[in-house]
Amino acid sequence: MSTPIPPNWDTGADSLDRIDSYQVVGRNETRVDALKLAQGRGSFTDDIDLPGMLHLKMLWSPHAHARIRSIDTSAAEAMPGVVMVLHHGNVSRIPYTTAGQGHPEPSPYDQFIFPRKVRFVGDRVACVAAESAVQAARALAKIRVEYEVLEPVLDPHDALRPGAPVIHDEPEAFGLPDYDKAHNIAAAMHVEHGDVDAAFAEADLVLEREYSVPYQHHATAEPHIAITWLDEDQRLVVRVATQVPFHSRRILARILDFPLHRIRVVKPRVGGGFGGKQEILLEDLPALVTLRSGRPARLCLTRAEELASSRTRHPQILSWKTGVMRDGTLVAQELRVLANTGAYGAHALTVQTCTAGKTLPLYKARAYRFDMKTVYTNLPVAGAFRGYGGPQGFVAMECHMDEVAEKLGLDPLEFRRRNLIGPGHDNALAQALGEGKEGPPQRIRSCAIQECIDRGKAAIGWDRRDRLRSTGPIRRGIGMSCLMHGSGIPGVDMGSAHVKLNEDGSFNLHVGATDIGTGSDTILSQIAAETLAVPLEKVVIYSSDTDHTPFDTGAYASSTTFVSGAAVKKACEGVARQLREAAAEMWRVEGDPCTPEDLHLERGAVRRPDGRSLSYGEICLSTFYTHDQHQIMDHGSHMTFECPPPFAAHFAEVEVDTETGAIRVLRYVAAVDCGVPIHPQSCEGQTEGGVCTSLGYALSEDFIFNDAGRLLNDTYEDYKIPTALDVPEFETILVRSYEPAGPYGAKSVSEIPTDGPGPTIANAVAHALGIRFRSLPLTPEKVRKAWLKKEEARQRETEA
C-alpha cells in the first residue's frame, strides 16, 4: 500500500508565538456541561423511564470452557412477567467482533450474539426479558442448561502448548492472515528494522529481562447500559453508553440483519469509557428484544457483571532486550510480547502493536525487532483500555532503561537523554506497525521531551536522590520515566462537523465526536468559537447522534481534539468565508463594495479595515429573509496520515514500609508536551486522572482467579481502585510546543498519562529498596516478600 510521505515541515517552534493571540483556545473556559453535572442534571442513559419497558437479565457461563449441550427455557418462560428468553438457539449466528473499530476491523470475527460454546466464566449463555428486573432475575434460575465441560486454558503459555485445547474451534471464526485459531493465536506479528543481529553483536552490553503486567479493569463509574425502543416510525432507537455510536449502528445493522437506515444510535451523557465502552458489548440484546416485542428494553450490568464479563486491559509478558555501547548509546532493541486476550480477540492485534509502536521508537537505535503473539485463554476478555498497550509496554521499557543505566553506571535520566528521539527525526517503526496494515511514515515535528525532563527533574528535586533515607524500616526513593503516545490512528480515524449560523449570531455545531467525560464538547466548541471569533457561549454543540450529527469514528485513540478538532476548524473556516462573502455582498448592495479577502472576523462581526462592521446577527437576518437568501453553513471532514506523538516525563517519590511492604506515593510530577493545550485545565485533568488510573495499575489493581478460572475479586470490596486519599501531592506541568499538524497547534493528551505510573513507581521503589520488581501490581505482600528475601541473602552473606 502506498501512502504519501509527509512534507518536511519545520518543527513549528516558531509558531508558539501565535498562541497569545488566541481569544478562546488556550483559556480555561467554564466547561459547557460543568454546571448541569454539578447539579445532577446530566442525563445519563439510565436516567429515563419509558412506559412498558422490559428489563433484561443475563445468564452467564459458570464454566471457563464448556460446550452447551442443551438449553431448556420453558420453565423460565412460564415464570410471571417473563416475555422472552434469548439464547443461541433463537438468534442469528453471524460472526463479528465487539471491538468497535472502523471498517474493516483489524480484530478477528470470533463472536456471535450467543455462543454455542462458552469460553470464560462470565460468557453469554442466555438473556431473560421480563416486566421487572426482579422477575427477570428469578427466571434465570429456571433456565436448564446442560454443559459438556471442557479442559480450560488458564495461562497464556499453556495456550501455545502442543495439544492445548482449541478455544475457537468453530469454523466461522476468521481474522487477518496471521490469525491461527487452531493454535489459539488471535494475533501475531514479527517486525525487523535494520540488521538486528549485527547490531546486538556490536554492542558492548546486551541485557535481556522479562516483565509481566496484570489484568486491569476500566472501573468506569457508570456500568455498561443500553435502553432501546421503537420510535413512531418503527425505527429502532438505541440509547447507549458508548464511545462509538456510528460503529455501534454499523455493527448492529449487520448482526441484527436490520436496515442501517432504520437504526438511530444516541449517546447521552456517558459516565466514563476509557476504552471499555468502545466495545459493542450489550446493545444487541435489548435491540433484539425491542425488535421482537415492540417494547422498550433495558439492560444494565451490575458491578460484579461489569468486572467479570465486560472488558479489561490485556495482561502481557514482555521480554525486553537491549544492545548498548559503553558510553550509553543504544544500538539495538528487541521486544517480545506474549499477550493474553482472554476468550475473544477484541483488539488482539492493535493493542499489542501499540505496545511496540508507542514505546520502541522513543529511543533511537540502529535496529529494532518486535515479535508478538496474542493468545486466547479461557479468562476474561481483554480489549481497548486507555493507553492501549502503552501502559504495558512502558512498564517493560522504562524499567529496562533504568536497569541498563544501572549496569553502565550512568544516571538513568542522562542515559535516556542521550538516546531520545527529537524534532525532525523519523519514527523508525511507523510503517511497520500500522493498524492491521502498513502505516504511514511519521516524522517528529513538535517535541519538547527534553524540556519535560528538565522541568520535571527540578519539580521533583531529582538532585536529592542520593541523599534520601536508605536505612531504617521506612525507605524512600525517586524514579522517573519518559513517555510517548500518538494522536489518532493515521490514515484511519476520521471526524466530521457541521456548523450553521443563527439570527442572534450564534452557531449550531453538530459533531459526530463523542464526549464521554473527556471534555470534547467544550474543546470542540472552543475551536469553533476561536475560528468564528465569538465567545464560547455563542456555540451550541450537539454531539454523537447517528441521525442528527455527521460521522465520527468515535472517542478512542487519543483522536478527538486532533482529528475531530481539525474537522470542526475546517467547517468553521468555511462558515467564516461565507460570512465574509455575505457581508461583502450586503455592502455591495448598499453601493459600498469591498472584496471579501479584505474583511476579517472579530468579536462576532465581519469588519472592514476602516472599522465598519456587520454583526453575524445582521448578516444572518439578511441572508434568511432579505437578500441572496440562503443558510450560512458548512461542514468539514478530517482524516490525516499524521500522528504527532505527545511526549511526557513522569517523576515520583515513594515511601516504602519494609515491615508490611506498603508503598505510599508521596509526590508525583507529570511534565507533558501535548502541543498547545486547547483547555489547560482539561489537559491537567486528563493528566492527573490518567495517572490516577495507572497508580491503581501499579499498586493495587489485579484480577485474582481460582483454579477453575473464576474471578474472585469481582466487587469494589476486593478490586481496589484509588480513593481521594490514596493520590499523592500532584503537579502537572504543561510544557508548551506547537504542533503544525494539529488544530491550533494541539496534540493529544488523554492516553499518555496512563503510560507513566507503572514504570515510574517501580523505578522509585527500586531506588528505595534496591530491589527490581518486574511485575505489577506492587502489592504490600509482594514487596514484603522480596524485602525479606533480600534481607535473608544479606544475612547469609554476613555470616559467610
Partner 1 sequence: MSRIEFRINGHHLREHDASPATTVLDYLRDNLGLMGTKEGCAEGDCGACTVLLLDRRRSKTPRWLPVNSCLLPLAAIHGRDLVTIEGLGTGGAAHPAQQAAVATHASQCGYCTPGVVLTLAAAAHCSASEFATGQAEMLAGNLCRCTGYGPIRAALAEVAASDPDDSLKRLRALPELTVAQEPLEYCAGGVHCVIPVTWEQLWEAIEQHPNHSLVAGATDWILTSAAPFWEHVGGGSGQSSSPCMLSLERLPEFCQVRDRGETGWWIGAGVRVADLQETVGADVPAVARLLRYFGSAQIRNRGTIGGNLCTASPVGDLAPLLLALDAKVVLRSRRGDRMLLLNDFFRGYRRTALRPGEVLAAIELPRPRGDTRISPFKVCKRREVDIATLSCVVAVDVGADNVMRRARVAFGGMAPTPLRVAACERELEGKVFSASAFRRAAEATERELEPISDVRGSAWYRRRVAKNLVQAFHAEWETGEEPAWRADHPGTVALAPGAQREEK
DSSP run (H or E) holding 338:
strand 330-342
Q: Which of residues 573-602 bind partner 1 (CB under 8 A)?
A: none
CB of 766 to partner 1, least distance (A): 20
In which residue are the cell numbers 478460572 written? 709
Q: Which stretch binds partner 1 (CB under 8 A): 60-68, 163-171, 346-354, 656-664?
A: 656-664
CB of 716 to partner 1, least distance (A): 4
- Choose, by CB under 8 A, the member of 720, 736, 771, 775 that binds partner 1: 720
Which is nearer to partner 1, 180 or 688 (by Cβ)? 688
Which is nearer to partner 1, 222 or 634 (by Cβ)? 222
CB of 723 to partner 1, least distance (A): 4
Q: Which stretch binds partner 1 (CB under 8 A): 367-375, 497-505, 636-644, 723-731?
A: 723-731
* Alpha-helical segments (H) within 16-77: 34-38, 74-77
For residue 183, what is its C-alpha cell? 493454535
Could you tell me what percentage of the chain is helix, strand and coil, using 3-state DSSP and rounding each to the nearest 5? Answer: 30, 25, 45
Mutual angle of helices 390-408 and 350-357, in 10-degree steps: 30
Contact track, partner 1, 468-487, x by CB under 8 A: ---xxxx-------------
Q: Which of residues 670-699 bind partner 1 (CB under 8 A)?
A: 681-682, 684-685, 687-693
700 binds partner 1 per the rule CB under 8 A: yes
- Choose, by CB under 8 A, the member of 195, 204, 537, 659 that binds partner 1: 659
- Choose, by CB under 8 A, the member of 189, 270, 643, 698 that binds partner 1: 270
Which is nearer to partner 1, 446 or 732 (by Cβ)? 732
For residue 760, what is its C-alpha cell? 515510574
For residue 395, what is its C-alpha cell? 512498564
Q: Which of residues 196-255 bind partner 1 (CB under 8 A)?
A: 218-223
Cβ atoms 746, 561 nearer than 8 A: yes
Query: Hey, CA dihedral for 41, 44, 45, 46, is it positive or negative?
Result: negative
Other CB atoms within 10 A of residue 778 CB: 22
726 binds partner 1 per the rule CB under 8 A: yes
Name the pairing type of β-strands 297-300 and 225-230: antiparallel
Contact track, partner 1, 514-553, x by CB under 8 A: --xxxx----------------------------------
Bridge partner list, 238: 228, 265
Which is nearer to partner 1, 596 or 780 (by Cβ)? 780
- The closest alpha carbon to 682, from 29, 244, 40, belongs to 29
- The closest alpha carbon to 576, from 507, 639, 626, 652, belongs to 507
Q: What are the φ/ψ torsions at residue 372 (nearest 5 degrees)?
A: -140, 140
- Choose, by CB under 8 A, the member of 246, 274, 368, 647 that binds partner 1: 274
Q: Which of residues 300-319 bind partner 1 (CB under 8 A)?
A: 302-303
- Choose, by CB under 8 A, the member of 180, 426, 573, 657 that binds partner 1: 657
CB of 176 to partner 1, least distance (A): 32
721 binds partner 1 per the rule CB under 8 A: yes
Q: Which stretch binds partner 1 (CB under 8 A): 338-346, 390-398, 449-457, 778-786?
A: 778-786
CB of 681 to partner 1, least distance (A): 5
Distance CA 734, CA 308 (A): 37
Which is nearer to partner 1, 92 or 470 (by Cβ)? 470
Does the N-terminal peptide bond of residue 391 adopt cis geometry, omega within 30 degrees of 0? no
The DSSP-derived string for 83-103 is EEEEETTSS----B-TT--SS
- Extended strands (E) in 583-715: 600-602, 605-607, 613-615, 633-639, 647-657, 663-673
Distance CA 373, CA 99 (A): 18
For residue 662, what is its C-alpha cell? 506498603
For residue 58, what is its C-alpha cell? 443475563
Q: Which stretch binds partner 1 (CB under 8 A): 83-91, 467-475, 548-556, 582-590?
A: 467-475
With CB under 8 A, what is the number of residues at the site for partner 1?
Answer: 86
Q: Which of residues 20-59 bind partner 1 (CB under 8 A)?
A: 28, 30-31, 33-35, 37-44, 46-47, 49
